[in-house]
Amino acid sequence: MLTTPVKPEQKIIRVLRLKVLDRPGYFGRIASRLGELKANIGEISIVSQGPDFIIRDISVQIQDDKHLAVVVAGIDEIEGVQFESVIDPVQTIHEGGKIAVRSRVKLESLADLRKIYTPGVAQICKLIHKDISLSRQYTAIPNTVAIVTNGTAILGLGNIGPVAGMPVMEGKAVLYEQLVGISAVPILIDSADIDEIVATVKAIAPTFGAIHLEDIAAPECFEVERRLQEELSIPVLHDDQHATAVVVLAALLTITQRMGIELTECSLGVIGLGAAGAGIGQLLQAFGVKKLFGADLRQDALDRWKSRGGTPTDLTGVMKNADVIVATTGVPGLIKPEMVREGQVILAISNPDPEIDPELAITCGARYAADGRTINNALSYPGLFRGAIMANARCFTNSMKIAAAHAIAGQTKMDNLVPSILDREVHQHVADAVALACADHEC
């Protein structure tokens, strides 16, 4: 039986900076003591060295702050070891932000200045003024994506506002640049008003080749996306809906192929009909899945699901009637062991904690199970946007999304359900497939 890896126990990482006597045996004492204190040692590096001491950074995995205090006290007892500091590597890597605007050309002389700025730049401005399409050739516009959020639905945190959500947007921008070479700019909008969000994005849209909507709460996100796509001539995609749906479809294509069945013949249930759940339902319906059950505590979400051809029910109804379960509620432990039926496929993709742990679901009879660490939308949106930009697309179609899912499934190896997010070739395959699908099915 093929399963996803067992979810490890959640731990935190801290770096211990220690000044240690430079004599045989002292580091061995530290390592032994950390083992006794149940702190798992990771990376070790030398920060500096003196005549009789070495300052080392030792990365350790610990349970929590209480455990850290015990570790610090235990190490402090060792003769010849002096504590310098405890470093949080996550905070350290975020200091100063994770992104920056950098020049692609050199500025080393007055000649360079005159070519890239005045007076030379006027020549390019005149060309674009005569033919605005030349902006695709002579500016960064076509390769620049706006990551727009109002911070009302930040992953795992909820409505914390746009500024608190900025580290997430910066992280997305890093993935864009590193994985597909797109320049992505976070745009923070401090408003939940649909008209204001739409007007703001429309006003800045000439700067960008595409609009990536991110962490905007349902139901407002549906209207924001619809209106922007109707009123702009560049592609608009709400990541939480459609990029998530693409990866879910990719995983289900892999699973059903291995099971020797057709996905279109399966009954599928979605628990949680917000942005992600609604997007998953729409794409699976477009793919050809006919039996779609949906559960949500909100009546408006159930009504919307029914209006789009799905069957509204409750949690029990989904678990009873569906062969494939996709949960997007953000409620840890919502799916109880006794609810799982033999042979079901369960993708509990809420982050950071799933509705049921994959290991437990498998134990209870599920044939396949995965969580949000595996089914991660970062597998699809870089390639989706790169492909749309390559094809000069005006929108994202279902054909483009389905092509992306097939590309991801086609790159899945061994017993994995999806490929590695860090595999650059996967993102290029997705981009190529999306561009081809766009050429075949224009908006």
**H or E element at residue 432:** helix 424-440
The CA-atom distances, in angstroms, between 195 and each of 213, 224, 227 are 15, 8, 9
User: Contact 24/63 with Cβ under 8 angstroms?
Assistant: no
The CA-atom distances, in angstroms, between 363 and each of 341, 342, 375 are 11, 10, 20
Active-site residue, 291 included: no
Catalytic residue among 117, 138, 290, 306: 117
What ranges in 109-238 are assigned the alpha helix state H? 110-116, 121-130, 135-138, 166-180, 194-204, 220-231
Instruction: With CA atoms as reference, report the closest residue to 308 among 326, 321, 293, 323.
Output: 293
Strand, coil or helix: 207 = helix
Omega prior to 352 cis, within 30 of 0:
yes
Active-site residue, 176 included: no
What ranges in 260-348 are assigned the alpha helix state H? 275-287, 299-307, 315-321
What ranges in 232-311 are assigned the alpha helix state H? 239-259, 275-287, 299-307
**Both structure tokens of 432:** 């190529």
How would you classify the pairing of strands 81-87 and 12-21?
antiparallel
Backbone angle region of 25, left / alpha / beta, with phi > 0 → left and psi within -120 to 50 → alpha: left
Catalytic residue among 172, 176, 368, 381: 172
Backbone angle region of 272, left / alpha / beta, with phi > 0 → left and psi within -120 to 50 → alpha: left
Active site residues: 117, 172
